[in-house]
Amino acid sequence: MTRKDPNLTDKLCCMILLHYGIPHDVAKDMRRSDILRLVEWDHYPVAFATARDLGWTPDDYNHPSNLQPILPDDHTIKSARRDKPAISKDVRVSDAHEEHRRRMLAKSGSEEEVERYATAPPPPSRRQWPTRPLSRPKSSKIPSRPFQKRETTK
């Protein structure tokens, strides 16, 4: 008789049981579908809505590095307390920003300006703090002590 390797469903069930510390006596009476229903998959650290807005493909936002298993009750609480308010705030802020931009461009009165703003690339980022040149010449070495050693008299 040949040995059959476990498939991905069996391996996933095993990892869920190990991750949540379910005892062997309890787990052996569970079917695979029961074990898989113990968890839901949450998009973390990048939420689905954020990934979609960034133009990620399903392969990107469903990558294992962006998923975490979470208990269904905890997932419901997290979605209600964190995810949905964050998505709502993003929508409010982006809507308010667009309204503000529209009003500012309307003040200028130029349709050409509105078009130019909509198609213009973002300005290059500038460094916040300029670097200061050092007061010593570059060729000199940094002294080991900032003051001369005092000569002692005996």
The model carries a pTM of 0.54
pLDDT tens-place string over residues 22-58: 999 999 999 999 999 999 999 998 888 888 888 999 9
Q: Check the CA dihedral 87-90-96-101 and report its sign.
A: negative
pLDDT tens-place string over residues 84-105: 888 888 888 887 788 787 777 7
pLDDT score at 14: 95
Mean pLDDT over all residues of the chain?
82
What DSSP letter does each residue of 68-92 carry, written as one string? EEE-HHHHHHHIIIIIHHHHHHHHH
